[in-house]
Amino acid sequence: MRGPHNIWRLIRTGATLERTGAMGQVLDAFDAPRPLRIAARVIGWPFKWLGYAGDPSMPPLTRALSALGPAYIKFGQVLSTRPDIAGDELAQQLRVLQDKLPPFSVFEAKKAVERELEQPTDTLFSSFSEPVAAASIAQVHKAQLAETGEIVAVKILRPGIERAFHKDIDAFYFAARFIELLSPASRRLRPMEVIKHFEGVVNGELDLRLESAAASEFAANTVNDAGFQLPVIKWEYSGRRVMTMSWAEGVPLGDNDALDAAGQDRPALSKRVLQLFLNHALRDGFFHADMHQGNLKVAANGDIIAYDFGIMGHIDEYTRRVYAEILFGFIQRDYKRVAEVHFEAGYVPGDRDVDEFARALRAVGEPIFGMDATRISMGRLLAYLFEVTERFGMQTRTELILLQRTMVVVEGVARSLDPKMNIWDVAKPVVQEYIKTSIGPRAVAGDLFKTAKVLARFGPRLPAIVEAALIRQATPEEQKPPSLWPTRLIWGLGGLILGALLLEGIVTLL
């Protein structure tokens, strides 16, 4: 890590916030205490001239984040979906960061296509528009395929974006090390691992071949989801820095006035977007992890269309079950079960008291359930839960960071469509269905069947594996290879018995 460079980068961040007038907005948004406000002004003002000026036509915070670069823009995109944190006015200002950033020229875009696809742009496309959307990492052009006449969207990475993003991530690593050094208690949160996880996500977003593959897998998983559409990837027109897909025609999900004018049912859309996310996360373990309004449209028939698959989340089956049980426990207000799940999964050290932890969780859940639907917030629940788990020594689960972050973003999107949505009522049927199919008797039968398949695959090798292990542990005098047929006979009979027991168990459960 380049210490001086990163110190300079972090100083310039504060200076840019001060110069653009965003410092006050940030402090107000997070309700900073008076001493912190004074300290920020005293420290920030002398270095104000070091900050980036940004685009004066933009609102202060949007101007600052745009000037600071892609990693900061990503932060602004998340904040734009959280009016309950940033306030309605600030959240509305930040939405321009989603797909309305300054574009690069059509000339540069065509050159990028020609370098990547090794053919002249005019040969591949009979028309190629000015940018229709420009985000932090790439921009999109509307084009027509010369061969078929189909209208498509062509996504192209910004020139030099890889270097710019890696500079920001380098500074984040430096900040994480600095925090760990100054505050040993913060090591419980594993900030270095969090940044490493974020870096992996970003690197995936910077290779459009991976995004194309993610879109293809996502489409296969969701082909039967009612009210949901995905564009089709055009593989022959795609590469590392260019991705081409079918054009998605619809109204942006963040434009409530246009949705109302089109006669769309916003409360129904609010409910569907949340349930779709939960289904993808729990049922498939593979979900769109950047579901802000800039990546969602509504088709004329009311279907939700998702695009931009650069950030996708994946969680294994065991973690999905743990997450579902925790969420369902809160929905049912069964805090003892939520506490037990944390202990069973190893999230909380085993030397802590489970009953005390359950009481602490009740203090988290009950105040939220006492609120009316407009004030119930998954973001607030996660914040309270974070405080409690910190007190009980729970370490940050890096595999759940993206899931939790996306849950907060999706809730913000859903609330922007229907502020009165009750998140618990909407989530309950999805979680109940997953619990029924993945934790009940059918799930046990499925687990037994998978175990039997694995044992059957390795069965012929088990005698040799055990014998090799015994020989390695034996003394030199004992390492004379024993006769193999008695061991193989025992293992063979044992395998037959185990297979019969597993089969009997599956039949009984079914």
Catalytic residues: 290
Which residues are CB-neighbours of 297 under 8 A, at least 6 positions away?
248, 249, 250, 251, 252, 253, 304, 305, 307
What does the alpha-carbon distance between residue 135 and residue 128 come to, in Å, rounded to a whole number? 18
Q: How many CA atoms lie within 13 A of 392 on its CB side?
A: 26
Which residues are CB-neighbours of 207 under 8 A, at least 6 positions away?
240
3-class DSSP assignment, residue 303: coil
Closest of 139, 142, 133 to residue 158, by C-alpha: 139
Burial annotation 241-250 (CB, 10 A radius, 16+ → b, else e): bbbbbbbbeb
Contact 431, 103 (CB under 8 A): no
Contact 110, 121 (CB under 8 A): yes
3-class DSSP assignment, residue 385: helix
Which residues are CB-neighbours of 461 under 8 A, at least 6 positions away?
none
Closest of 256, 248, 8 to residue 150, by C-alpha: 248
Closest of 205, 261, 212 to residue 235, by C-alpha: 212
Contact 70, 58 (CB under 8 A): no
Single-letter code of the amino acid located at 60:
P
3-class DSSP assignment, residue 266: helix
Which residues are CB-neighbours of 491 under 8 A, at least 6 positions away?
459, 462, 463, 466
Closest of 310, 330, 341, 319 to residue 158, by C-alpha: 310
